Structures are given as C-alpha cells and as structure tokens.
Structure 1
Amino acid sequence: MLLNFLRSGKELAGYTDPRLRRGLAWSVAEAIFAFLPYPLIYIMIDRLLTGTLILDEVVALGIALFLVLIARLFCAHIATPALFRGAYAMMGQARLRIAAHLREVPLGWLSSQHSGALSATLTRDLQIIEELWSHSLGVFCGGLLVPALLSVFLLWMDWQLGLLMLTSLPIALAFLIGGQWVLMRQSDKLANVSTAVNTELLEYLQGMTVLRSLGQQEAYRVRLFHQFSRLRSAAIRLDVWPAPLVGGFGFAVEIGFAIAIGLGVQLLSTGQTTSNNILLFAILALPVYRQLYEVGLAFLLLRFADQALQRTRALLAVRPMAQPATPQQPGHYDITFDAVKFCYPDSSTPTLQGLSFTLESDSLNALVGPSGAGKTTLLQLIARLWDVSEGSIRIGGVDLRDIGSQHLPRYVSMVFQDAQLFSGSILENLRAGAPNARREDIEQVARQAQAHEFISRLPLQYDTLLEENGSNLSGGERQRLSIARALLKDAPIILLDEATASIDATTERSIHQALSCLIQGRTVIIIAHKLNGIRHADRILVMAEGELVAQGDHAWLLGHSPLYAHLWAQERQD
C-alpha cells in the first residue's frame, strides 16, 4: 500500500519532483544515523557490565555519539524542507492537472455532479494526500528502517531473544489490518455523510428566500440539523470504532517485549543466555516497539489517505471528450442532426432518438413541446456539453467532434435557463465573452437585450458590483444580462434555453424583435413555452418524448401537427 501511494504521486502530478526524491534519500540517511547510537550504547553498556570500560573508550564513544547526533540533525535539516517543497510542488501540479482534466470532461457530467462531493474531492481529499506526502513520508522511512535495523542487530546479539521479541508481531499485524478495515469503512461513510451535509447546506443557503416565502425554513432547519447529527455520529464512529483494534495492536506490540523478557529469564536459568544480554535487550528493544507502534498508527492514516486517493482517481477516470488532432473550421453555420441518439451516462433509456433535420444559416428556429421532450438536451448537444451516443451533429458540414470543444465556443453562444453571473461589475460580466469590447458596443447590446434601462438606474450603472450570482438583481434582470453577454460575444450561432421564461411579455416581445434584427449571419435557436413569441420563426421543431414529431412554420403546423395545435389552443385559452 505504501509503494502504491508513493507511485500515486507521479500518477497525479505527472512527474516526481527531484526534491522529493532527494528528501527521501536524506530521510533514509537520517534513519541510519538514528540507528547508529544503539550499537554504540551496546558497546558502552557491555564494557561497563564486563568491567572492561576504560576512560579513552568513554571519550571515544561519547564523541562518536555526538557526531552521529550532529549528522542526524544535518540530514533532517536537509530532508524536511526538501520533502515539504517537493510534496507541495507536486500537489500544486496535481491540482493543475485535475483542473485541466475537468476542462476536458463533458460539461453535462460536471453539472450533474453534487457540488458538495466535487468540492470535497478538490479540497479535503487533496489536502489529506498532500499532508501525508509532506508530513509522513519521512516518518515511514525512519519508522520502518530503524526497527528493521534494530531487529537485525538484536538477532545478531542474541538470536533466541530476538525471535521471542517477534512472536507477537503476527497478532499485532492482525489487529492493524482489522483497524484499517474498520477505518476504511467508517471513512467512506463519513465522506458520504459529509458530501450530503455540504449539498444540503448549499441548498439551504441558496434557497433561503424561497423557504421563507413558503414558511418552510423551520422544517428545512430540522432536516439540516438531522444531517449534522448524522455527520457528528459518523465522525464519532470514525474515532471510536477503530480504537479497540488500535489498542489491541499496541498491546500486542508491547506484550512481545514482556514475552521476550519473561522467556529470556527462563533461558537464563538454563544457561542459554546471559544476564548481560537480557539487560541489554531490555534497553535496546524498547525503541523497536515504540517505533512499530508509531508506524502502525501511520499506516492507519495511510489507509485513510488511500480512500481520498481512490476518490481522486475516480474523478480522473471520467472519460474526457475526444479532441481532434487538427481542428476544422466550418465555412457556414447551418446545423444538421443526422440520426442522433443520446442516452445520459446513468440511464439506458434514450433521451433523444432518431433525430434528423437541418437548420439553415441566417434563420430563427424554435423548439416547442411538453416538459421532458428533450428540448434542453438537444441544445446541450449542439453546445457539446455531451457527445451524442449515436449519429452526428454537424455545423457547416463539419462534425462537432472535428471542431473540438476548445474551439466550438467561438461559434456558439448559449444562454442557460438559470442565468449564471460572476462576482465583479456588470461591465466585467458582459465582457466575459468579449474581453476587448468597447463601452459603446456594450451599451448598444444592452439596449437590444432591454438591459440598458435598468442598468442606468443603478447608482454606479455599468460599474455596479454584483453579489454572488447577481443576487442583488431580479431574475429578469439577470436573464437580460445573460442575453446581452451572448449577443456581445457575436458568435454565429445563438442558443437560448428558455431564456425568456422569467421576463415579462412586453420585454420578451422586444427581445424577439431585437433577435430578428440580429440573425444576419447567425443561426438562432430558442426554446419557448410561449408560442405567441415564436409565431414568426422560420422553423419550429415540435418534440415529444425525445423524438421530432413535426417541423415547419407556425401556419403549417397549425394545420398538420395535432400536438402543436393543442399547445397553441391551450395557450390561447390561458
């Protein structure tokens, strides 16, 4: 397990820092110098007990002990900073590699993950691994090497007493393995409960306004308190349940010393050893047991870190989206679906199936249909948040997979159903897709998105700082800023995912008029629940249960699509 953990450093960081190697080498040297005093002490005590110790030997042994101590301190002085710097550098690179990997995985997968679990892996788990690399590698070197050298020395000194000393190690090892197993199970449970608590807490904080409006904050508080109680219980179990096995491990290690001394006295009575050997053994064997106990505890921590490593590996195991060796550029911007089928990774039931159609360039297109028809998924496939399961999607005759996910955003802007804004000013948010946009261009686009008027009423206007996700703006205002940002990006394809759902009818009509003026050189696709706003679309796609059931303009669909006619009649009635 230790070797596997050491190899994981290169696996996560992509390289092994030479400072870490150097630190490990100096840690081995430190362990050797930590062992050397014991043979010197053995010589001194042996001479003392036999009455052959002379002053010159005392001076020589004292100087040797002093030099060994200085050498050990020197090695530690070099090893510790090297281990820390190497470990932190590798973990910094590991974090960068994980971030780069997350940029390559399907964005749909990222959005489907619990934020609590993802943040726990990126913060807590990586910190656990980092601390073990930086703080415990030196401990393992000394903790394993010194007892091993001492055991060999004691076996050389008196092989019978040495073997007696090792009799309890199998029992101690059994306790250690049991403790690791319990710790592994409880740490898994704690990680799951911690993820649930993080997710629940985020929902509670983000949904406070809704909870208050529904009068449910007390009920949710009780629910949150229950989760905290589960977290407390899981944390207590993690500390308490392995404790008897850890205590058993320590007892088994210590009992080996008592067995060796007790049976050593029996050997003394039969003349198979000497009293000097027993006394020397009693003095020199104690560090072996103490070091073994510390190593056992370190191995328990290693098992805990191994669980964190497994979760990190699972994150890195998510298959990234395929990227072309030579990205291709579309020459025009029609969109073609060719026998497209799509299933979400955790489902065997197709969300979309058998989709084949073409949306012309310079056209305004609308997606309509009941909830769950697959409209949002269709837009996500165009933006390549997911890859299709079967078939292909082409822009200007070029498969999305041949354009590459790094280059596709040049051609596609998407306004999400939940408008996402960032901390910073309104101006900075609008410039997110066009960093070099001029102020006058920004204001012009804001007018087209019906956002300039409310921005002008703010005290600092475009320099107004937004709170987290624009919480100091209304839903409609956030939506209009999101639309303005997409328009400013000036991509040839604009995807609007229910972008006007939270805007009043007058503003919605104005936005559609603005979009009609902007479709020159653009392909616009709108998901709309209000059919009145998309009557003049060039093409309307009617979807139901993941299939395209009809397509055409408004007038044609009223006469040929029962579903569209029903939706239209229902809206008129409402």
Structure 2
Amino acid sequence: MLVDFGFDLAGRTDPRLWRGLALSVLQALVGVVPYLVLYFALEAVFAGRATDALAWGSAAILGLCLLLVWVVRAHAMLDNFAATYALVCDMRLRLADHLGRLPMGFFTRRRTGALADVLTGDFAIYTEVVTHTWGLVVANLALPVCIAGVLFLTDWRLALLAVATLPFALLGAIWSQRLLVRAGLKLTIAKADTVGRLVEYIQGIAVLRAFGRTGAKHAALSASLAQLEKQSLRTELAPAPALLLYGFTVELGFTIAAVAGAWMLTGGTLSPAVYLLFLVLSLRFYKSLGELGIYLAELRFASATIGRIRAYFGEPEQPEPATPNAPAGGDVVFDDVSFAYEEQTVLSQVSAAMCPGTLTALVGPSGSGKSTVAHLTTRLWDVDSGSIRIGGVDVREMAMATLQQHIGLVFQEVYLFRDTVLNNIRLGRPDATAEQVLAAAKAAHAHAFILDLPQGYDTILGEGGYSLSGGQRQRLSIARALLKDAPILILDEATASVDLDNERLIQEAIAQLARGRTVIVIAHRLWTVQHADQILYFECGRIVERGTHAELLDLENGRYRRQWQAQQQARGWRIGGATLLQLQPGSRSLLSDEPAEI
C-alpha cells in the first residue's frame, strides 16, 4: 500500500470518515459541472448562438454550483476532521492499554524516553498530518479523476496525451516515499536518542549537580539535539528531488497536450471550443495533481510514523487464559521454578510454599533472585519452567484482574502520581469511601503527616511524590495496600531506605497489614525478619538454606549464620574514635562516643 492511514488501529470504524469521503467525491463531481457549462457556452459563442438567456442561465448554474461546492466542502471537512481526530484518540488509548498488558521484559529493553516519544511526539505528528490531509487527498484525487472523465468525453486523443506522463509521475511519487522512509528511520533513531538523554538528564539532575557533572551531560545532550536538528532538516529535504521530478513530469504532460492541441486546431481537426475547454480543464487537472503530490508526501511521512506505532501494537501481550480459573485460597506455591532475563539465569529450580497467616522472608546477597520471586508471583514476567500456584491455581491460568486483586505490594521505591493524597491512596481500591481511606491512613501511621500538608488529603502531590520524605511515601504505599485488603502481601525492602523513626512506624503499619495474610518479605536487614515463620536464603538464583531464624543459626558455617554475624559485628563501626550506631530500634542518634545500646 502506498499510504498507511492506520485507521484500523483504532479498533473500530467511524461512519463520518466514509461520509466525509463520499462528500469529497461529491464536491469533485459538482466542481466539474462549471467546466461543462463553460464548454456549452463556448460552443454556442463560436456557433453564433449566444443569447441573454444562455448567459443568465449559465451564470445561475455557476452560482448554484459555487454555493453547493461550498456547502459540501464544509460538511466534508467537518466529517473528516471529527472522524480522524476521534479515531486517532482511540488509537492512542488502545496503544496505552496495549502497553499495560505487555510483559515487563518489553520495557526493560527500551528507554523510557523512546516510549514517551511514541505516545506524544509520534502521535502528534501523525494526528497533525492525517487529520489535515486525509480529506484533501480524497478531494484532490477525486477531482482529477472526474476531470479526466470529461476530457475523454470531449476528445480522447488529447486526454491520452494529458495522462501519458502520469505513470512516470507515479514512479517519482514512489521514489519520494523510499527517500522519506529512509530518512524517517534515521530521524526516529535521532529522536529516541535525544528524548532518552533529555529524560535521563532531567531525572538525574540532582545526582549530576552533586557530582559536578552537569556540564558533561549537558554537552552530550546538546550534541544529540544538534544531530536531531540536522536529521530533521535532512528528512524535510529528502523527498525534494523526487517531488521535483513528479511536478516536472506532470507539467510535461500538459505541455505536450497543449502543443498537440494547437497543432490539431490549426489543422482543422479540433474545434476552438474543445481546445479552450481542454486548456482550462488541464490547468485545473494538473494543479490538483501537483497538490496531491505534496499531500501524499506528507501522508507518506505520517505512514512512516504510523509504522513505528504499528510496531508497538504488534508486540505480543502477556497471554491471558481462554477460560480463567479463580484461586481457592491465599497460599502461594513455587514448584521447580526457573527463569532467565534474556540469556541470564536468575532463578533455577526454586520450590517453596507460603501459607496464609505466615510470614516468609527471602534473604541473601543482592542479585540472588529475591525480587524476581515477587515479580514472577505478580506475573510481571512468566516463568520459563515450573509453575507458581495461588490457591491451587497456576497464575497463568488466572485472569490478570483476579491475580491483581489477590496481591498487595509494598516496594522499596514508591511511586506517587500527580494527584491528591486521597486519590493516591485510593489507587488500592478506586471505589473506596473517604472514611475507608482515612481508616487505612491511620492504620499506616500516615494520618498525622497528611493533616500537616497544606490541603490535607486534598493536597496535590508532585510527580513521583518527591515532595514527601521516603518514610512518608512508604506509609502512603502501605495505606494503599491496607485499603486493597488483598489476601497476599509482598514487601520488597519496604524499610531499607528510611530513618529509624520512620522504620519503627512502618514496621508497626506492616504488622497491622500482615495479620491473617500470606506475607512474603524481601529483606537485607536480617533482624527485621528474625521472627519469620520460615526464612529462605537465596544465592545465585537457588534456595540454599531454609528454616526459622533459630534453625538457620544452628547451621555451622551456614550462609545465613555468617550474614547474621556480619551484621551483628557492624553494630559499632568506629571512625576516628567515634562509633556509628547499628540501624536497629532503640537507637537515638547516628553518631556517638559509645556503641549503641541494643
């Protein structure tokens, strides 16, 4: 296909689009009528049959046609604009929904800026071009077809000469498309690099300033912007040679037909009326074709853009079961689970059972696979082999909505949306009442600091919630999980990045949240999970030790025991006679002359 409009990606049809198309064709048909009136008027003039009645009648028909063309064009434009904007809006929403159902591996392979550019920049270009040129392409395609029909009816010889160069013009149009697609691909790469660097620069500005590296990163960003500017100009100019060839070939057809018509006129084989009509019609014919070439070039640029959008639609979604099953409880069972990120094995033959009313702690060195257990349980990825069952049902056999209802998550990194505090907590249960949100916030020890905010629960948080402290964001996350009231709770380093006072409050909130649930805790500070019902020690993607805190301490030369002892020895690190206190409840200051009292 020469041009891909992409309307099929909207997932529906819009009758206004086809009505607008029909009106554009009707506009072209009505637009030809004045030329037919001109022909009959010229015939009468050259035959000496011109009368006042003919003049007034011709003027009336021309006026009526002008009014009708204006009315039809207005309705065609309204239908075309309304339909294309609505379809493009649906396309954007469907793509966002599609992205939400893709496996997380898709996002880890791409820069955030590239995805943002597709949903904003690419769609903006596509929307601007398609909505403004769709109707114009139809109109400028229908009018030459209608005019060509009139030319063939009046004199087939001149009509053949007039259209003889069009196949060569079509070759120029195809050439322009190839030039534009080639340049468009390079522009896409340049845009993705620039947007990625820009997002990275903005998100990391605090770190860059702290290490005095804003200049170096800014130079790289400036170089990327300069490359984008250069490639944008090249893309604009890329189809110019082909478009010049297209225009020259189209106008060459008019020159050939005009010279041939003059030769036939002097030879007496063509009437003056037909020749004048041919000249007038040909000018309009080639003008429409010239405009059509420009609009097609713009649409081909949009077609290259929609190709990138279509590629995202083509990414396979995480499979959903045809006949989903519902779990019969809140127990979680890993059965010989193995998983790899691309070619790097992360979990290997992991088996474990977590029951309701118990707390299972996942410990071990960084990169040993603990967080992957949480990700696989929530189906951010699917296992390569083995199975994960919740309530006796494989998570792959559950509807994603059902799975999400059964799991509450509290991560180390909390993301809050640019919305009110109330709505950020209500994310856990959108239909929750204000009273229920208030109760969850109180249970999470968040109510007091929320009331201190400028508008309390109606305070608009900044993007990411970075106007709040880490402990405050974490307690809002716990309030979300409390409000959701899911039977399974996963805590991924929920207290790793907060101060001691906040840690105590968060621990109390988690204790409230964990009652009666299947709780899975990922932790580095072993003292925070020493009362767990079972502790699983991970190393290199395998469970190498399991048991209670006491049982694991009894293992001579055990890995858990060595890590516990190392953390205990770190209670009082001395720097120049001062002692850094261990991070445990009861500590009151970060620096003291004596070791902390435990």
Distance in 2 (CA, whole Å) between partners of 1:19 and 1:420 is: 41
Distance in 1 (CA, whole Å) between partners of 2:236 and 2:332 is: 58
- Look up the match of 2:363: 368
Contact 1:416 1:497 in 2 (8 A): yes
Mapping 1:465-544, distance limit 5 Å: 465-505=460-500, 507-508=502-503, 511-512=506-507, 515-516=510-511, 518-544=513-539
Mapping 1:81-100, distance limit 5 Å: 81-100=78-97
Aligned residue for 1:541, secondary structure, equals strand
- Return the match for 1:409 from 401, 404, 412: 404
- Look up the match of 2:545: 550
| Deviation readout 1:343-389 (Å, 9 max, x if unpaired) | 44xx2444333222212222222222333222222211111222223
Distance in 2 (CA, whole Å) between partners of 1:28 and 1:16 is: 19
Tell which deviates more after alignment, 51-60 or 395-404.
51-60
Tell which deviates more after alignment, 273-282 or 400-409.
273-282
The percent identity for this pair of structures is: 40
- Look up the match of 1:37: 34
| Deviation readout 1:119-176 (Å, 9 max, x if unpaired) | 3332343344444554333222221121122223223333332222223323322221
Distance in 1 (CA, whole Å) between partners of 2:437 and 2:114 is: 40
Distance apart, 1:39 and its partner CA: 2.0
- Look up the match of 2:214: 217
Contact 2:360 2:519 in 1 (8 A): yes
1:571 aligns with 2:567: yes
Q: Which amino acid aligns with 2:158?
A: L
Contact 1:422 1:469 in 2 (8 A): yes
Tell which deviates more after alignment, 250-259 or 112-121.
112-121
Distance apart, 1:572 and its partner CA: 4.1
- Return the match for 2:242 from 234, 242, 245: 245
Distance in 2 (CA, whole Å) between partners of 1:370 and 1:537 is: 18
- Give ranges in structure 1 of 5+ residues lacking alignment: none
Q: 1:183 to 1:212 in 2, by over 3 A?
A: same
Q: 1:110 to 1:45 in 2, by over 3 A?
A: same
Aligned residue for 2:338, secondary structure, equals strand
- Look up the match of 2:443: 445
Mapping 1:90-129, distance limit 5 Å: 90-106=87-103, 109-110=106-107, 113-129=110-126
Mapping 1:273-422, distance limit 5 Å: 273=270, 277-324=274-321, 327-344=324-341, 347-422=342-417
Q: Which amino acid aligns with 2:519?
A: V
Tell which deviates more after alignment, 491-500 or 313-322.
313-322
Q: 1:541 to 1:264 in 2, by over 3 A?
A: same
TM-score of the two chains, using structure 1 as the length reference? 0.89
Contact 2:444 2:509 in 1 (8 A): no
Distance apart, 1:323 and its partner CA: 3.3
- Look up the match of 1:17: 14
Q: 1:247 to 1:91 in 2, by over 3 A?
A: same
Q: 1:560 to 1:292 in 2, by over 3 A?
A: farther
- Return the match for 1:430 from 421, 425, 440: 425
Distance in 1 (CA, whole Å) between partners of 2:339 and 2:72 is: 60
Contact 2:441 2:476 in 1 (8 A): no
Contact 1:105 1:320 in 2 (8 A): yes
Q: Which amino acid aligns with 1:242?
A: P
- Give ranges in structure 2 of 5+ residues lacking alignment: 571-598
Distance in 1 (CA, whole Å) between partners of 2:121 and 2:52 is: 58
Aligned residue for 1:104, secondary structure, equals coil
Contact 2:2 2:300 in 1 (8 A): no
TM-score of the two chains, using structure 2 as the length reference? 0.86
Aligned residue for 1:330, secondary structure, equals coil
Distance in 1 (CA, whole Å) between partners of 2:456 and 2:254 is: 78
Distance apart, 1:543 and its partner CA: 2.2
Q: 1:325 to 1:171 in 2, by over 3 A?
A: closer
Distance apart, 1:53 and its partner CA: 3.1
Tell which deviates more after alignment, 236-245 or 185-194.
185-194
Contact 1:509 1:533 in 2 (8 A): no
Distance apart, 1:295 and its partner CA: 0.9
Aligned residue for 2:444, secondary structure, equals helix
Q: CA RMSD in A?
A: 2.9
- Look up the match of 1:204: 201
Q: 1:18 to 1:517 in 2, by over 3 A?
A: closer
| Deviation readout 1:519-545 (Å, 9 max, x if unpaired) | 331122122222232233222222233
Q: Which amino acid aligns with 2:383?
A: V
1:72 aligns with 2:41: no
Q: 1:460 to 1:47 in 2, by over 3 A?
A: closer
Tell which deviates more after alignment, 426-435 or 292-301.
426-435
Distance in 2 (CA, whole Å) between partners of 1:519 and 1:284 is: 82
Aligned residue for 2:333, secondary structure, equals strand
- Return the match for 1:257 from 254, 261, 264: 254
Distance apart, 1:517 and its partner CA: 5.8
Aligned residue for 1:469, secondary structure, equals coil
Structure with more helix by fraction = 1
Tell which deviates more after alignment, 541-550 or 359-368.
541-550
Q: 1:514 to 1:91 in 2, by over 3 A?
A: closer
Q: 1:392 to 1:141 in 2, by over 3 A?
A: same
Q: Which amino acid aligns with 1:91?
A: V
Q: 1:342 to 1:44 in 2, by over 3 A?
A: farther
Q: How many aligned positions are there?
A: 566
